[in-house]
Chain A
Amino acid sequence: MKTKEISEVSKKLIEGIQSVQKRFDRVELLDSLRKGALKKFSEEGIPGKKSEAYKYSSPEKLFKNPLHIFNSVENVSFDFQVNEYLIPGLDAHIVFTVNGSFIKDVSDINDLPKGVIVSTLSEAVKNNSSLVKMHFGQLAENSKDPFSTLNSALTVDGLFIYVPEKTIVEKSIHIINLISAQENSFINPHHLFIVEKNSSVNIIESQTSSPKHPDCICNNQSSIAIHENASAHYYIVQNDEHVSWINNINASQDANSHFDTCTVTINAKWIRNNLNISLNGKNCETHLNGLFALNNKQHLDSHTMVEHRMPNCESKQLYKGIVSDSSTGIFNGKIFVRQDAQKTNAYQSSKNILLSDNATINAKPELEIYADDVKCSHGSSTGKVDEEALFYLRSRGIGEDSARIIMLGAFAEDVIEKIKISALKEYITGLIEKKIGGIRGE
């Protein structure tokens, strides 16, 4: 068999994984996942310059310097102010993780509805192994992304959230995903969320890091199963300039289910977000929304893949971005409609505002359709703040900076108004206002 030539950087990483894997606890379920994934990763390595999917992001550079492969069982000394990371006014179950480890002492999950489980993945592997087994490999294997594979090769722990049948989790579950390491680390949390039939849950994840620490990479993987007639909302708030983040969200939806994601990026160093949604049943609905406001040299690469496998499903995507200074925003959205997925209704829109000549937007919509009775559309636009509108505001006595902030706020509003949790909406509005207030046009 001919294998792809892989880079030196990849080889070193693979050697590192091999030696780390030896130190992991022997757990059959995870062992087989890791082994299979390492084999797969060894054949492809870190995406290089020729990779179409990573052509705007060159992730190899993140791995050039030696990295400590973080083993989630390492002890984390906890000296954080939990309050700093909470969302004001949000009544939520609080799940605090540091480097992917669930810190129970400072979390607050005491009043979860009956049967709902929030635990570590390693506990779930012990206590709910059949559930984990049923969902795990399948979801992770669905993704073809090399970082998803890499995460699987290094899966030790993460979160496990389980919502049993006919259960409405009223309060949101707020996951605070904090990275804080003492050396350059490569951290691979792997989460598994299962929403059983006729249930619903809202999950909010804040991705952040504590200041004063070296460069780290957090390579997250969230596997989400949304069963028949269930509903899940997943909001991600990225507000961090220190850590490089890679997120693979692999979701599968059964018939009549509903999945809503909204990814809001307030600050970034280098971020790659992959959303991989598989519509496996009829009448599914899925919404992917994104909003970002970047400055300096911030880099955000968002990829979405919605795979329509069954008839009568609807997917809608709206991504809006503001880039200034030398920042880069990328949106690559793919809608894949299989032959059986008749009556698919799929829509995708990417709108961007460039505030500087040195800022970059790469927008790449893709449609691949094998069914003949579908409605699919995509649109993309990139431009400047509407000068006519700006002048109109100024002609009424509103200063140029305020006018620009008003216009950018209005631009962001389309995405923000889709957030259904009012405290979260207010929080994000505040963060966005603050961010765009600090961004200058040219």
Chain B
Amino acid sequence: MLQIKNLHAKIEEKEILRGINLSVNPGEVHAIMGPNGSGKSTLSAVLAGREDYNVTEGEVSFNNKNLLELSPEDRAREGLFLAFQYPVEIPGVSNINFLKTAIAEIRQYKGLPPMEAKDFLKLVKEKQALVELQVSLANRSVNEGFSGGEKKRNEIFQMAVLEPTLAILDETDSGLDIDALRIVANGVNKLRSKERSFVVITHYQRLLEYIVPDFVHVLYKGRIVKSGKKELALELEAKGYDWIRKELGEEVEA
């Protein structure tokens, strides 16, 4: 589904990703962990198509298409979804109109007929329940005045509505209390399927207690330096990132 080969990316003149290799198959959940500044958010931004980053080397294929050549909207239409670490508030744009437009454009891209209004409302209602998002979406602007937890739930809610094949969760756990974390994780777990894959980016192991990954990768200084099964997350939690630094001490230049 997603193949990342030797991906290098810069922001301004600073190289942040320095040769990432990752392969995600349908239905898999991959966790990417790493200390601050290791490139976790850069990886998600590059995959979603943020223009501030300059890919200097490597390739990314998504469903056999060259992902890096696609515009951010086409990536979304192809089934990629990024749950933002900091969801953006957009005053004046109602949540409902925003989703309606997104669905309409995605369906048009796929050559599907427009969704009936009543089907859309039904879908919204059903998915809102999934993430226990009780705010009235019709009357409120996108994320405006939402609490931190509501914003993150809104991300998962949008994901549920748009039904991507690959979802990248960028530090979705940051700023969440334990109850909100559980709700968000439950939402994600209900969306897990044989066809749908997840890349869960996180700093802490805590989220992975709720969203249990198939694979865990450690990102450090722009490279994946260690990969393993879910137990790796626990080991990392116990030993801390210094363990990785020590292990790499001889290999990585200071």
The answer to whether the Cβ of A89 comes within 8 Å of any Cβ in the partner chain is no
The answer to whether the Cβ of B226 comes within 8 Å of any Cβ in the partner chain is no
Cβ-neighbour of B87 out of A386, A392, A400, A409 (below 8 A): A392
Cβ-neighbour of B93 out of A394, A395, A400, A410 (below 8 A): A410
Interface residues of A in 412-427 (CB under 8 A from B): 413-414
Q: Assuming A389-B90, A396-B99, A397-B76, what are 5 further A-B pairs, CB within 8 angstroms?
A: A386-B88, A395-B81, A398-B102, A399-B105, A410-B93
B121 → chain A closest CB, angstroms: 18
Task: Give every chain B residue within 8 A of A397 (Cβ-Cβ).
Answer: 73, 76-77, 102-103, 105-106, 109, 162
Task: Give every chain A residue within 8 A of B93 (Cβ-Cβ).
Answer: 389, 393, 406-407, 409-410
Identify which of B77, B90, B106, B141 gathers the most chain A CB atoms within 10 Å of its CB: B90
A320 → chain B closest CB, angstroms: 11
Task: Give every chain A residue within 8 A of B146 (Cβ-Cβ).
Answer: none
Q: Is the CB of B92 within 8 A of A394?
A: no
Q: How many residues of B contact A (CB 8 A)?
A: 33
Identify which of A392, A395, A396 gathers the most chain B CB atoms within 10 Å of its CB: A396
Q: Is the CB of A392 within 8 A of B71?
A: no
CA distance A299 to B91 in the complex (A): 28
The answer to whether the Cβ of A442 comes within 8 Å of any Cβ in the partner chain is no
- Given contacts A394-B72, A394-B73, A396-B162, whether A402 and B105 have CB atoms under 8 Å apart is yes
Q: Is the CB of B48 within 8 A of A395?
A: yes
Task: Give every chain A residue within 8 A of B87 (Cβ-Cβ).
Answer: 392
B141 → chain A closest CB, angstroms: 8
Q: Is the CB of B92 within 8 A of A395?
A: no
The answer to whether the Cβ of B42 comes within 8 Å of any Cβ in the partner chain is no
Identify which of B82, B93, B109, B158 gathers the most chain A CB atoms within 10 Å of its CB: B93
- Given contacts A397-B73, A397-B77, A413-B92, whether A406 and B101 have CB atoms under 8 Å apart is yes
Task: Give every chain A residue within 8 A of B89 (Cβ-Cβ).
Answer: 389
CA distance A400 to B72 in the complex (A): 9
Q: Is the CB of A391 within 8 A of B71?
A: no
Q: Is the CB of B90 within 8 A of A410?
A: yes
Interface residues of B in 13-71 (CB under 8 A from A): 48-51, 71
Q: Look across to chain A and name the residue whose beta carbon is closest to the beta carbon of B76.
A: A397
Interchain residue pairs with CB less than 8 A apart (23) = A388-B88, A389-B89, A389-B93, A391-B50, A391-B51, A391-B88, A392-B87, A394-B73, A395-B72, A395-B81, A395-B82, A397-B73, A397-B77, A397-B106, A398-B98, A400-B73, A402-B105, A403-B73, A406-B97, A407-B90, A409-B92, A410-B92, A410-B141
Q: Is the CB of A392 within 8 A of B73?
A: no
3 closest A-B pairs by CB: A410-B92, A397-B76, A392-B88
The answer to whether the Cβ of A411 comes within 8 Å of any Cβ in the partner chain is yes
Q: Look across to chain B and name the residue whose beta carbon is closest to the beta carbon of A414.
A: B92
The answer to whether the Cβ of B84 comes within 8 Å of any Cβ in the partner chain is yes
B47 → chain A closest CB, angstroms: 10
- Given contacts A391-B50, A391-B72, whether A396 and B102 have CB atoms under 8 Å apart is yes
Task: Give every chain A residue within 8 A of B76 (Cβ-Cβ).
Answer: 394-397
CA distance A15 to B6 in the complex (A): 80
Q: Is the CB of A393 within 8 A of B48?
A: no
B80 → chain A closest CB, angstroms: 9
B107 → chain A closest CB, angstroms: 9
Q: Is the CB of B98 within 8 A of A396?
A: yes
Q: Look across to chain B and name the residue whose beta carbon is closest to the beta carbon of A416.
A: B92
Identify which of A388, A395, A400, A403 gathers the most chain B CB atoms within 10 Å of its CB: A395
Q: Is the CB of A393 within 8 A of B98?
A: yes
CA distance A402 to B73 in the complex (A): 11
Interface residues of B in 160-215 (CB under 8 A from A): 162
Task: Give every chain A residue within 8 A of B142 (Cβ-Cβ).
Answer: 392
CA distance A5 to B82 in the complex (A): 67
Q: Is the CB of B73 within 8 A of A389?
A: no
CA distance A407 to B141 in the complex (A): 12
Task: Give every chain A residue within 8 A of B99 (Cβ-Cβ).
Answer: 396
B43 → chain A closest CB, angstroms: 15
Q: Look across to chain A and name the residue whose beta carbon is closest to the beta carbon of B106.
A: A397
CA distance A394 to B70 in the complex (A): 12
CA distance A399 to B158 in the complex (A): 17
A381 → chain B closest CB, angstroms: 14
CA distance A392 to B48 in the complex (A): 10
Identify which of B82, B91, B97, B101 gathers the most chain A CB atoms within 10 Å of its CB: B101
Interface residues of B in 98-131 (CB under 8 A from A): 98-99, 101-103, 105-106, 109
Cβ-neighbour of B101 out of A388, A398, A413 (below 8 A): A398
Task: Give every chain B residue within 8 A of A391 (Cβ-Cβ).
Answer: 50-51, 72, 88
Q: Look across to chain B and name the residue whose beta carbon is closest to the beta carbon of A408.
A: B92
A367-397 near B? 1/0 per residue, CB < 8 Å: 0000000000000000000101101111111
Cβ-neighbour of B105 out of A386, A398, A409, A413 (below 8 A): A398
CA distance A392 to B91 in the complex (A): 13
B136-171 near A? 1/0 per residue, CB < 8 Å: 000001100000000000000010001000000000
Identify which of B81, B88, B109 gathers the most chain A CB atoms within 10 Å of its CB: B88
A196 → chain B closest CB, angstroms: 39
Identify which of A400, A407, A410 gathers the most chain B CB atoms within 10 Å of its CB: A410
CA distance A406 to B101 in the complex (A): 9
Q: Look across to chain B and name the residue whose beta carbon is closest to the beta carbon of A406.
A: B93
Q: Look across to chain A and name the residue whose beta carbon is closest to the beta carbon of B101.
A: A398
Q: Look across to chain B and name the residue whose beta carbon is closest to the beta carbon of A399.
A: B73
CA distance A386 to B144 in the complex (A): 15
CA distance A411 to B49 in the complex (A): 25
Cβ-neighbour of A395 out of B49, B103, B109 (below 8 A): B49
CA distance A389 to B91 in the complex (A): 10
Task: Give every chain A residue within 8 A of B141 (Cβ-Cβ).
Answer: 410
Task: Give every chain B residue within 8 A of A400 (Cβ-Cβ).
Answer: 71, 73
CA distance A379 to B218 in the complex (A): 48
CA distance A409 to B92 in the complex (A): 8
CA distance A165 to B76 in the complex (A): 61
CA distance A414 to B109 in the complex (A): 32
